[in-house]
Amino acid sequence: MAGAGHGHPLHLAGTSPVHRLPAEVKIVAAFLGVVCVVLTPREAFPVFGGYLVLLAAIWVVAGIPPGWMVRRSVIEAPFVVLAVLLPLTGGGPHVEWLGLQLSEPGLLGAWNIIVKGTLGVLTSLTLAATTSLRDLLLGLQRLHAPALVVTIVTLMLRYVDVIAAEGRRMRLARISRGHDPRFLWQAGATARGVGSLFVRSYERGERVHLAMLSRGWTGAMPRLSETPTTRRDWVAGLAPVAVALGLAVTGWVTA
């Protein structure tokens, strides 16, 4: 967005066919793909491998290094870390593994959360890596998201920068007045200043909003190119979804 840079930390600029696909196609495809993953029965183990191969194929086309993807997928860690406990606490028939009594339903439950959560995160990351914020907003607009929603999203993304910058300024001010922030102890000062951070950001944000209005912003993202989304784009974008659907059906039949 305007202001601090044009990308977000999860965006990997590129010109691959995946990058060039219209954003609305990618949003729909990512959503349908995850729906397929979630509806797959958890006992269909090979099918989940199939999903991973499918995603890897998309990464190859998009030119995203797998390592880049894996590093960012640690965002998921807090979600799944406790799933490790499920096999130890669940009831039902137990299996022995390395001298540990593991519950079978617990193991399946943990597997379910981890594998579906991971595939979901990887899909969202693929969408984020290949789509800039601007395109994402345009995609939402073309999917006929209500104008009100587009307005709030645009302002929100703009104001994330405002808040971050205001927070940096307040931190600088504290340091220059003799505050000595260490790792965790910054948190206390930041928490106490949260109210004034909000008011200061609002007052700056109000000016930003007026500046946007005076430059002709009407609440919608202006379209810079008039290339319409063709049927070919949709076919190309939905092809991986068709593969995912095939995998899901295989899962239902075999499990």
Partner 1 sequence: MVGDTVLAMHMSDGLVNGPTAGAFGLIAVLGLVLAGVRARSDLDDRTAPMAGLVTAFVFAVQMINFPILPGASGHLLGGALVAILVGPWVGSLCIAIVLCVQALLFADGGLTALGTNIVNMALVGVFVGYAVAVALRPLARRSRAGLVATAFVAAFVNTVVASLAFVLEYAIGGAGGASLGTVFTLMIGLHVLIGIGEGVITAATVGAVASVRPDLVHLLRGTAPPLQLRRAGDTGVTESRATEGNPS
CB 13 within 8 A of CB 7: yes
Nearer to partner 1, 87 or 233 (CB): 87
The only residue of 28, 61, 102, 160 in contact with partner 1, by rule CB under 8 A:
160
Which residue from 143, 191, 220, 242 is in contact with partner 1, where contact means CB under 8 A?
191
Q: Provide the phi-psi class of 159: left if phi over 0, else alpha when psi is between -120 and 50, else beta.
A: alpha
Per CB under 8 A, 244 contacts partner 1: no
- Contact between 27 and partner 1 by CB under 8 A: the answer reads yes
- CA–CA separation, 175 and 168 (whole Å): 11
Q: Is 47 in the site for partner 1 (CB under 8 A)?
A: no
Rounded distance, CA 132 to CA 187, Å?
31
Q: Does 68 bind partner 1 (CB under 8 A)?
A: no
Q: How is residue 3 annotated by DSSP?
A: S
The answer to whether 70 contacts partner 1 (rule: CB under 8 A) is no
Residue matched to tokens 């998309």: 58
Does 62 help bind partner 1 (rule: CB under 8 A)? no
Task: Confirm or reject binding of residue 238 to partner 1 (CB under 8 A).
Answer: no
CB of 17 to partner 1, least distance (A): 21
Q: 202-241 burial, b for 16+ CB within 10 Å, e for fewer?
A: eebbeebeeebeeeebeeebeeeeeeeeeeebbebbbebb
Contacting range for partner 1; rule: CB under 8 A; set: 51-59, 124-132, 227-235, 239-247: 124-132
- What does the block give as tokens for 251? 């899962």
Residues with Cβ within 8 Å of residue 142, at least 6 apart in sequence: 22, 23, 24, 229
Residue 173: both structure tokens together: 């001010």
Cα atoms in the 13 Å half-sphere on the side-chain side of 87: 17
Asked whether position 64 contacts partner 1 by CB under 8 A, the answer is no
4 interacts with partner 1 by CB under 8 A: no
Site for partner 1 in 139-158 (CB under 8 A): 146, 148-149, 151-158
Measured CA angle at 22 (ends 140, 164), to 5 deg: 55
Q: Which is nearer to partner 1, 129 or 233 (CB)?
A: 129
Q: Applying CB under 8 A, what is the total number of residues that bind partner 1?
A: 78
Q: Which two tokens stand for residue 249?
A: 């059906």
Binding mask 165-184 for partner 1 (x = CB under 8 A): --------------------
Of 12, 25, 29, 30, the one binding partner 1 by CB under 8 A: 30
Token pair listed for 81: 């870390």
Q: Which span (50-58, 85-93, 174-182, 232-240) binds partner 1, by CB under 8 A?
A: 85-93
Task: Looking at residues 7 to 26 of the shown chain, list those that interact with partner 1 (rule: CB under 8 A).
Answer: 8, 10
